[in-house]
């Protein structure tokens, strides 16, 4: 077995960068083969000939599954795992060692051009779906690459921009999903992002790549750069970045060799990185050859199932959906004939086939369906096409109007400028509804759009980008062959100005301030009691569900086990996504009114009920305490809500949770509140304060202010300042004695 000790300095350095765009270097004399890494994450993008990173050149046919924006709406890690298994199979057939995905960056702003590749605005949901994908991929002997690590939340200036984010926000929002995937699924590789974090490139940040990822989370795999993310190769290697991609022409290998020889880089650092590459090679070689052929039909069927599960029914007034079997249907909108099923850039998959909604409608409804394009993607012939669509709409019982974002408005490499649908489409909605109010809007988009017509139309279907089988899956839902069960993984706001990052996105002069802090997505809207178009977690069904009274108890591990019954009170089989939101009833720090802490997608037959048990992990209750630089669970009462969305709470219960001890060393700057909390000196100070209150006069007279008001005023008073005020009952020597007594008690613990 080859080890770094068997290799020359030059050979070890060669292992730490690519041989070309997609493969690692082989060392034939040492029996080390080359590995192929290639793009995902919602399908295999293995380029057959010329290589690039933006999806410009052709790749081998592969199943295009629904991108993460859609998959996240399933709220189902087990379904994500099945997709991962399929991705692993297709990668294995093509002898790909690592597929680059999943991407789980937080949707900080709906304007991010790459949001279609990401799961959610919530880290728990992102981590759960991401872990499912990783487990599935790696079950087939293929590695995954968790990306983009970290705080990569925009495309604008993505190669240089610094995400300036405070430690608590970084830990609770932007790292927490990555932590969940690493701990639960151990991806073979983690891909660092392009951006800087608080001024330091992610590719050369030892705090991020070594201290957090390896020392704290226990990651034991390989860290690979995003393609072209390395600014200083020697600094990156020292920070913990093992493999630079793509090929650098040998230039950075030579830099590493020179740094080792001149003493600027310890050789054991290079040995560690080389060993991780060798370990990855060994893992990949354990998989036996998979000859294929790919079962194209089976994977297409899975893509259709997942797409159907991803669709979110936003609105359905008058039970207009599912479509009655006898109605005549005007299908309007170019997206019905020319579907947009994935985003642009490095994740662009060459699908094995494409289903269109128009073809699927014709298969189901025959001559009851008529079509008008309504618009073109470039805005040409707008008036004539709109007039044609209006005539057709007036002649039919129901209109199904397909709207969405064209490719030119949503892609890797740039961000959106606004949240609106194209003007030609908005004008088409108004014209069609004027002649036929029985209009159903179906959306094709990789991230949310504003819905100014939401009050005008009776039904809205959020169909995202659904992969190659999205057209047939959409018709499955519209006709009732599939009962919709998708839920929004991101809030739909009324306007861009309402969104959390408005005013600090995308930043300027190479910096973007994460000024909203932990209040991302629904946390922001709920904390401000702000109206939204449709809330996080929302989604309707063709049946109805009732929730029983929840119970909650803390188990031996400190987790909260939540139990309830869910009944299907309608006449159709259905699937309900039960969500658990939790918040402490009081806190020492600013907290969101509620945070998603558990969820389950539960299938319930018509007229039946299911007992559902959800587990809220104790670690997910914690906030990042900047005083001690670690996660801390506050003790006390927590409100546990079971819900159908963040704004549809079906039941609530309180549960007592034991807290983690946080004992800070007392100093002269410690507040009275902090001193009183100390088990040794607290009672002493409390006694002194009681005596002081008895002697109070003037403005401190308890008869004027009252004890409660006095204590509120004194709560943040530094203990050291008390010595400077006559009548406080304590001098500087006593303050020093109290601090010394506290230090001695802490040391004796």
545, 567 Cβ separation under 8 angstroms: yes
Q: Assess whether 557 carries a catalytic annotation.
A: no
Q: Is the peptide bond before 189 cis (omega within 30 degrees of 0)?
A: no
E-assigned strands of 342-451? 369-372, 398-404, 439-444
What is the C-alpha separation between 449 and 335, in angstroms, rounded? 16
Strands 329-332 and 398-404: parallel
Q: How many residues does the chain have?
A: 749
H helix runs in 325-413, sequence order: 334-337, 357-365, 382-395
Distance CA 12, CA 400 (A): 60
Phi, psi of 355, deg, nearest 5: -95, 135
Helices H, strands E: what count in the chain?
22, 25
Contacts of 47 (CB under 8 A, 6+ apart): 21, 22, 38, 57, 58, 59, 60
| Contacts (Cβ under 8 Å, ≥6 apart) of 75 | 125, 487, 489, 577, 579, 599, 600, 601
Strand partners, 461: 313, 442
Strand partners, 98: 37, 143
Report whether the peptide linkage leading into residue 489 is cis, meaning its omega lies within 30 degrees of zero.
Answer: no
Phi-psi domain of 535 (left: phi exceeds 0; alpha: psi -120 through 50; beta: other) = beta
Q: Both tokens of residue 596?
A: 């998603």
- As a whole number of Å, the CA-based R_g of the chain is 29
Tokens 């809030």 belong to 491
Nearest to 18 by CA among 98, 94, 137, 134: 98
Burial level of 170, CB count in 10 A (0-12/13-18/19+)? buried
Tell me how crowded residue 427 is: count the other CB atoms within 10 A of its CB. Answer: 14
CA distance 181 to 403: 35
How many whole angstroms separate alpha carbon 421 and alpha carbon 433? 17
Annotated catalytic residue within 226, 242, 355, 415:
226
Give one word for 157, left, alpha or beta, with left for phi > 0 and alpha for psi -120 to 50: left
Token match 């200036």: residue?
Answer: 157
Q: Are 32 and 2 in contact (CB under 8 A)?
A: yes
- Residue 206: what are its φ and ψ, rounded to 5°? -65, -30
- Measured from the Cβ of residue 57, the count of other Cβ atoms closer than 10 Å reads 12
Instruction: Give catalytic residue positions.
Output: 226
């Amino acid at each position: 077995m080859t080890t770094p000790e068997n290799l020359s300095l030059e050979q070890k350095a060669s292992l730490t960068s690519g041989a070309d765009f997609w493969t690692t270097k082989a060392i034939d004399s040492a029996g080390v083969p080359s590995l192929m890494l290639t793009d995902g994450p919602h399908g295999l993008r293995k380029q057959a000939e010329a290589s690039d990173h933006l999806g410009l050149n052709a790749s081998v046919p592969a199943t295009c599954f629904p991108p993460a924006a859609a998959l996240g709406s399933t709220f189902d890690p087990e379904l994500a795992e099945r997709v991962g298994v399929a991705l692993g199979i297709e990668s294995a057939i093509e002898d790909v060692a690592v597929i680059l995905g999943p991407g789980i960056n937080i949707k900080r702003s709906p304007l991010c051009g790459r949001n279609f590749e990401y799961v959610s605005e919530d880290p728990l949901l992102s981590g759960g779906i991401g872990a499912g994908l990783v487990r599935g991929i790696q079950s087939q002997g293929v590695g995954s690459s968790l990306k983009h690590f970290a705080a990569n939340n925009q495309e604008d200036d993505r190669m240089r921009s610094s995400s300036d984010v405070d430690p608590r926000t970084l830990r609770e929002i932007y790292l927490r999903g990555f932590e969940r995937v690493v701990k639960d699924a151990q991806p073979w590789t983690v891909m660092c992002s392009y951006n800087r974090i608080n001024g330091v490139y992610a590719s050369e940040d030892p705090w991020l790549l070594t201290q957090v990822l390896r020392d704290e989370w226990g990651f034991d795999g390989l860290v690979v750069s995003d393609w072209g993310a390395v600014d200083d190769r020697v600094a990156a290697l020292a920070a913990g970045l093992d493999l630079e991609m793509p090929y650098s022409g040998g230039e950075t290998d030579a830099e590493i060799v020179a740094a080792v020889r001149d003493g600027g880089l310890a050789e054991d650092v290079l040995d560690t990185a080389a060993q991780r590459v060798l370990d990855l090679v060994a893992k990949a070689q354990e998989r036996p050859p998979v000859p294929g052929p790919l079962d194209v039909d089976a994977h297409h069927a899975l893509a259709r199932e997942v797409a159907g599960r991803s669709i979110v029914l936003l609105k359905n007034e008058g039970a207009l959906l599912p479509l009655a079997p006898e109605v005549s249907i005007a299908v309007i909108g170019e997206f019905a004939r020319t579907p947009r099923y994935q985003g642009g850039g490095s994740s662009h998959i060459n699908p094995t086939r494409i289903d269109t909604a128009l073809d699927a409608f014709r298969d189901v409804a025959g001559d009851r369906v008529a079509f008008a394009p309504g618009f073109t993607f470039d805005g040409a012939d707008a008036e004539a096409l709109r007039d044609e669509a209006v005539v057709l709409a007036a002649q039919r019982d129901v209109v199904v109007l397909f709207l969405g974002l064209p490719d030119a408005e949503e892609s890797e490499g740039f961000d959106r400028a606004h949240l609106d649908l194209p003007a030609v489409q908005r004008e088409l909605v108004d014209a069609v509804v004027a002649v036929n109010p029985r209009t159903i809007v179906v959306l094709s988009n990789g991230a949310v759009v504003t819905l100014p017509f939401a009050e005008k139309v009776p039904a809205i279907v959020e169909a995202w980008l659904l992969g190659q089988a999205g057209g047939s899956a959409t018709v499955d839902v519209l006709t009732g062959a599939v009962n919709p069960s998708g839920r929004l993984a991101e809030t739909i706001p009324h306007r861009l100005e309402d969104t959390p990052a408005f005013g600090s996105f995308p930043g300027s002069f190479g910096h973007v301030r994460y000024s909203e802090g932990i209040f991302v997505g629904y946390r922001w809207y709920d904390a401000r009691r702000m109206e939204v178009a449709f809330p996080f977690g929302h989604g309707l069904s063709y049946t109805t569900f009732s929730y029983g009274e929840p119970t909650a108890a803390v188990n031996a591990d400190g987790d909260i086990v939540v139990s309830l019954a869910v009944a299907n009170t309608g006449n159709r089989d259905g699937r309900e996504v039960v969500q658990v939101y939790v918040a402490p009833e009081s806190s020492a720090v600013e907290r969101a009114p509620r945070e998603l802490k558990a969820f389950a997608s539960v299938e319930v037959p018509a007229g039946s009920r299911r007992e559902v048990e959800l587990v809220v992990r104790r670690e997910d209750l914690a906030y990042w305490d900047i005083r001690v630089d670690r996660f801390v669970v506050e003790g006390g009462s927590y409100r546990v809500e079971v819900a159908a969305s963040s704004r549809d709470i079906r039941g609530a219960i309180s549960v007592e949770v034991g807290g983690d001890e946080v004992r800070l060393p007392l100093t002269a700057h410690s507040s009275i509140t902090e001193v009183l909390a100390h088990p040794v000196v607290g009672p002493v100070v409390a006694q002194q304060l009681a005596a002081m209150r008895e002697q109070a006069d003037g403005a401190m007279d308890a008869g004027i202010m009252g004890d409660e008001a006095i204590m509120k005023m004194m709560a943040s008073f530094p203990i050291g300042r008390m010595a400077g005020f006559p009548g406080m009952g304590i001098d500087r020597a006593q303050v020093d004695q109290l601090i010394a007594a506290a230090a001695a008690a802490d040391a004796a613990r």
